[in-house]
Structure 1
Amino acid sequence: FYVIKDAARQLQEDLPWSYYRVLPKLEGGSHSGRPRVFSLISHLADRTDNVLDEQNLWVFTSAFQEVAALQLSELWALPAMMRLVLLQRLSALGAQLSDTLAERDEAERWAQRVADRAAKDPSEVVFELAEMAERFAPLPGSFVVTLTSALRAQGPVATPALEWLERRLTSRHTTLEEVIRRETQRQTHRQASVANAILSLRRAADIDWSTLIESLSVVDRTLQQDPPGIYPRMDFPTRDRYRHVVEDLARYSKATEVGVAERAILMAEMAAGEADAPPVGDGAPAVTPREAVMPLEAHIGYWLVGRGRKALEAEVQYRPPLRWRPVRFGRRRPALTYIGMVSTLFLLLMTGAWVVASGTGALGWRFVLALAAAF
């Protein structure tokens, strides 16, 4: 129970409505209206009977991306969707178990009714059985198994009812032994599914999601082609910042995330004067001779977070929301923004002081002069 409760809490933190709302949705099929990444995890859980781990997540997601690349927001939603799918399946399995327990209780009550009627008048047992058959059509497997066990416990008085039950099953082209076998298999499979789901929820807490998501990112693989080879040697937070810039540019432009990354690489390669990426490995020096002669524009960072950002935005036809434009202006013109804010504050204070001074005479005007001198 603790594992389920902790997973539900983590899901609420990781998947707020504002995040869920922007995830790409499916427009058809059994998961219509659900996020695409939810469908991906659901299909994987179907194939593995709720056994989800880092390896099969990587293999299945990589295979999916050979057809359609997932957005960065979808990749970061993988842990939340994994928990969501598993919790929903545990809920469904719990509902099935509740139904099975209710069917067993009902079967025991009917067995007692049949036995009581048989003890009074064996000829009227058939009416009790007919009513039972009408209410439960067809007879559920768990109901049949429990009813059979309860009737056998009643002794010879329940023999007519058992014979009726066997004839009923024969008319449906099955036998009592076959029903018991299928029901046993179903219960065993359900128990295994519950155990697998709980174990997978435990694994979700142990997976290194940052490493897994980065290894699955098509955008990251594209940015790895940085001409001077600087990007692969950056730390994770810096690489992640670059990827989020790509995500932002794609969200408010006509290009895909991979398209934005490819455009940044192309612009860097054009600045470098060649398209081949330098060799990068564990033994690579901190600064290669090639890096020393490459212009600043050859690094993708120049186009993503540097002075070339505006040119890249024009290339991908980036159109940010209006509410972002004052902030963007402030970042591009920090000195002008600072002077403008200080000047505006000064004018507001002076206006207020002038209003006060107008009503207080000479003392008020001295205050105005002192305030002006302070600025």
Structure 2
Amino acid sequence: MTTETDRVDEVSTQATDTQTSSKGDFQSQWAAICPGARAAHNDIARTLSRFDKQLDRTHQDLLALRNNPSAAGPWIDWYIDNEYLVRRVLQRLRRDLSASFVAHLPQLISGPATGIPRVQDMARVVLELSELKFDQNVLEVLVLELRDSAPLNTAELWAFPLFLRYQALKLIQEEVHHRINDLKARTERERMVDTDRRDVVADCIQSLHRLQRTNWKTFFERTSQVELLLGQDPAGAYKQMDFATRDRYRTRVEQLARRSQLDELGVARCALELANDAQKDEKANGVSAGHVGYFLIGEGYRLLEEKVSLKPPVTTRLRRWAIDRRLRLYFSALAVVATVLFALPTFYSVYTGNLLHAIPVMLVVIVPALVLASVLINWQITLWIPPRVLPKIDFSRGISSDHKTAVCMALLVGKQSDILNSLEQLEKHYLANPDHQLRFGLLTGLFDAPDATTLKDQQLLTRLDAGIADLNKRYEHEGHAPFFWMHRARCFNPHEAVWMEWERKRGKLKEFNHYLLTGELGSFTHTSGDIEWLRQAQYVITLDADTVLPVGGAQRLVGTIAHPLNQPVWDEKTGEVLSGFSILQPRIEINPVTATRNIFTRIFSGDRGLDLYTLAVSDAYQDLFGEGIFTGKGLYHVGAFVASLRNAVPEEAVLSHDLFEGIHGRTALVSDAVMYEEYPPEYLSFSRRLHRWIRGDWQLLPWLWPMVPSESGEKLPNRLSGLHRCSSPTIFSAAFRHPGSYFYFSWAGLPCPDRHSTGRYWR
């Protein structure tokens, strides 16, 4: 196996054979640098602009030369056949080599390349050492040899692919322009003379193709010293994270270095020191404080700024001042905008009619004013606050054994078709997310009945048992049976005077969680599959019967909750989640297959403004407050979830338990993960669903008061935050949105007399 040292020796020998300038001379020149400036961009911009103007003329000249046998040569074919690539590279360079980007690149202050970005000169040397055919090994060895004498920063490493393309393009254009002029000046006899001139055009075009195929992410992480330092994370999580999260950390280091007196390596060392100190401190905020990311993108970022002696600019301080008071500012802005939208039609009705006309107008415009105000405020938030993307562990190649997860579909079955559909859906979930650390199961119950059992109950249970056994037989691998089934019996409900499943979906999940933690089955009477394995599961992904879990969706959710900054830390006495999240809510989209089922779904499935549960929650809410709203489809941490709801839910008192559970357990919206669900196929089913949601939402009204009901029957102090109490009326207003919209548009279409005469209409 070739080691890095062997590669250094091999490529160094190769570089020596090229008879180019001494590397030692280059290293001394590249070590003498100064901060970049926007002026360095001017020469690059002029060169690219000149190339752009020459393209069409060059194309015409080469076509003419190609048709002349005495002038034609392989280099012309190389250029014409790859002209699309030349144009594409030129377009990309003009876009990406911006003045702001080049300004962050250190410039040389000695040698013939004085005043140009260091990475630009290094790109030229790399092509020379590679004999104009780009070799990634040459580049990597050159960068690694400069680690001590002239270490490159993050921006320079990412700039290599751009400047290598720039140098190759520059050589191509200069060579083509020189050859065209040379051929025009020579006689036909001189053109026929064969020369041994090196084909620069072909070599550089091959370099452009190689640059396109190179994995620059791998190159960066193999050569970055910041990456090497952050990899020493005391929590051991950094190397396990996905690339996007690691890149986010490195970007934060880069930003701090630009605004402080330290370089990137100094900032990274400070973050590591804080993480090491926090890990030793017993009072640290859970596992997250011992992770380097806690100080880079987490709650400890201000501690890192103090350590690097950074004083944030005025704009940053103002933004943080507003974020620290975001709750008051948000609802104040909402109240002001809603008041203005409410007052305008009210005053207009008084002006055109009289006070009696204004009263019905006031009643009609209240709900539309609130809805429109919320839309406008949330839109402004998305313009001012960047998206809050949660960090993730990379489980794309498989979930680690300490993050076992159960994927459950909780449903009621009443006929054979229900069972067939649920088994088919469960199989699809498995095929989209095969993993040894996942188990896929059904938590079933039967519909209400006048007796504890009915004649067809046993047939349904037998079919369920056989279906799970068949799936395990087909997909069992190395002793792993990926499917399970747990069924609950009916119990008598004296309030409804009927035999029914206790608390239905909430009851299923509550007893399932109890089994995971204690091993007690409760009212589960029938099981199939390896349910003992479930006792090791830390997380549960709960799905509805119509939910589609896309490819890799389970691994993405588990990777998100597994990150130290997202792991829940809760108070053992009260169950309150102090940091992290116990619930992850992915973005919910409408299944495209069902969205075009009929005219009704085509019209309303795209209605994203009014239906809270279709699109889960506005991204603005997550970005501003750092929390989302749970809609019943997502992942939860079993221990934290159960602790947060301990003695919180009175029996048979809450129908809309998803929202309630999300408020208590602290929910995060995973905006870059998605699940799909069906849209109701007709208006009646849509109305029944909406009625069920509204009824459940209004059952949460008692939790707005200082003292709230509990499972034990006694009144307890309300531990909901001000955010949850203030946002609850917005949720309750959903009951008035559809009738409010109906009355508003009905009123808008009615004739109204003006203040001077009757019979005139608003125009």
Return the TM-score normalized by structure 1. Answer: 0.65
Deviations 1:171-195 (A, max 9, x none): xxxxxxxxxxxxx8xx53532x333
Given that residues 271 and 295 in structure 1 are in contact (C-alpha distance below 8 angstroms), is that contact kept between their aligned partners in structure 2? Answer: no
1:75–1:217 CA contact under 8 A, matched in 2: yes
Give the Å deviation of 1:210. Answer: 1.0
Structure showing the higher strand proportion among its residues: 2
1:246 corresponds to which residue? Answer: 253
SS at match of 1:242: helix
1:330 and 1:53 map into 2 onto residues whose CA distance is 50
Q: Distance in 2 between matches of 1:80 and 1:246?
A: 22
Question: 1:257 & 1:9 partners in 2: Cα distance?
Answer: 31
Within the candidate set 200, 216, 237, 1:209 is matched to 216
Q: Which residue in the other structure is 1:194 paired with? A: 201
* Pair 1:36 & 2:44 matched: no
1:101 corresponding residue in structure 2:
183
- The residue number in structure 2 matching 1:70 is 152
1:259 aligns with 2:266: yes
2:196 partner amino acid: T
Secondary structure of 1:68's match?
coil
Q: How does 1:150-229 map to 2 (within 5 A)?
A: 188-191=196-199, 193-229=200-236
% same residue: 30
- Does the residue aligned with 1:318 lie in a helix, a strand or coil? coil
The Cα shift of 1:306 comes to 1.0
Does the CA contact (< 8 Å) of 1:41 and 1:85 recur in 2? Answer: yes
SS at match of 2:261: coil
Task: Provide the secondary structure at the position in 1 that maps to 2:149.
Answer: coil
Partner of 1:318: 310
SS in 1 for 2:112: coil
Q: How far off its partner does 1:368 sit?
A: 4.3
Shift of 1:302: 0.8
Contact 2:346 2:361 in 1 (8 A): no
Q: Alignment partner of 2:196: what SS?
A: helix
Is this contact kept in 1: 2:278–2:289, CA < 8 A?
Answer: yes
Report how far residue 13 of structure 1 moved: 4.3
Q: Please list the CA deviations of residues 142-200 of structure 1 after superposition, one character each: whole Å capped at 9, or x if unmatched.
A: xxxx49x99xxxxxxxxxxxxxxxxxxxxxxxxxxxxxxxxx8xx53532x33321211
Name 2:338's counterpart in structure 1: 346
Equivalent residue number for residue 141 of structure 2: 59
Q: Which amino acid aligns with 2:119?
A: V
Distance (Å, rounded) in 1 between the aligned partners of 2:316 and 2:303? 18
What 5-or-longer segments of structure 1 have no aligned partner?
109-145, 151-183, 275-292
**Deviation of the 1:37 alpha carbon:** 1.1
> As a proportion of its length, which structure holds more helix?
1
Write the distance in 1 (CA, Å) between the matches of 2:319 and 2:211.
Answer: 38
Q: Deviations over 1:84-130 (max 9, x none)?
A: 0111111222233234324533x97xxxxxxxxxxxxxxxxxxxxxx
CA shift, 1:321, in A, is 5.1
Equivalent residue runs for 1:272-283 within 5 Å: 272-273=279-280
User: RMSD between aligned alpha carbons?
Assistant: 3.4
Query: Structure 2: where are the runs of 5+ without partners?
Result: 1-78, 371-763
| Residue 355 of structure 1, CA deviation | 5.0
For these two proteins, the number of residue pairs brought into alignment is 284
Counterpart position of 2:294: 302
> 1:294 deviation in Å?
6.9
Change (3 A) 1:306 1:4: same
Query: Hey, what does 1:81 align to over in structure 2?
Result: 163
Range with bigger deviation, 196-205 or 246-255: 246-255
The structure with the largest alpha-carbon Rg is 1
Q: How far apart in 1 are the matches of 2:86 and 2:98?
A: 18
Question: For the structure 1 residues 104 and 85, does the alpha-carbon distance in structure 2 shift closer, same or farther, using more than 3 Å as the test?
Answer: same
Taking the aligned partners of 1:223 and 1:62, their CA distance within structure 2 comes to 17
What secondary structure sits across from 2:266 in the alignment? Answer: helix
TM-superposed CA distance for 1:38, in Å, is: 0.8
**Alpha-carbon spacing, 1:92–1:313, altered in 2? closer, same or farther (3 Å):** same
Local SS of the residue matching 2:236:
coil
Looking at structure 2, the residues matched to 348 and 82 of structure 1 have their Cα atoms a distance apart, in angstroms, of 57
Q: Which of 345, 358, 363 is equivalent to 1:364?
A: 358
CA shift, 1:309, in A, is 0.8
Deviation at 1:272, TM superposition (A): 1.6
Separation (CA, whole Å) in 2 of partners of 1:204 and 1:306: 36
> SS at the partner of 2:146?
helix
| CA distance, structure 1, for counterparts of residue 311 and residue 345 of structure 2 | 42
Deviates more, 1:246-255 or 1:92-101: 92-101
1:62-92 CA-partner distances (Å, limit 9, x unpaired): 2233323222222111111110011111122
How many angstroms apart in 2 are the aligned matches of 1:355 and 1:297?
Answer: 55
Check conservation: 1:90, 1:197, Cα contact below 8 A: yes
Deviation of 1:232 (Å): 0.9
Q: Which whole-Å CA distance do the structure 2 matches of 1:236 and 1:73 have between them?
A: 17
Query: CA separation of 1:305/1:7 partners in 2, compared to 1, >3 Å: closer, same or farther?
Result: same
How far, CA to CA, are the matches of 1:93 and 1:244 in structure 2?
38
Counterparts of 2:218 and 2:349, CA distance in 1: 64
Q: 1:302 to 1:371 in 2, by over 3 A?
A: same
Q: Which structure 2 residues correspond to residues 117-128 of structure 1 after superposition, within 5 A?
A: none
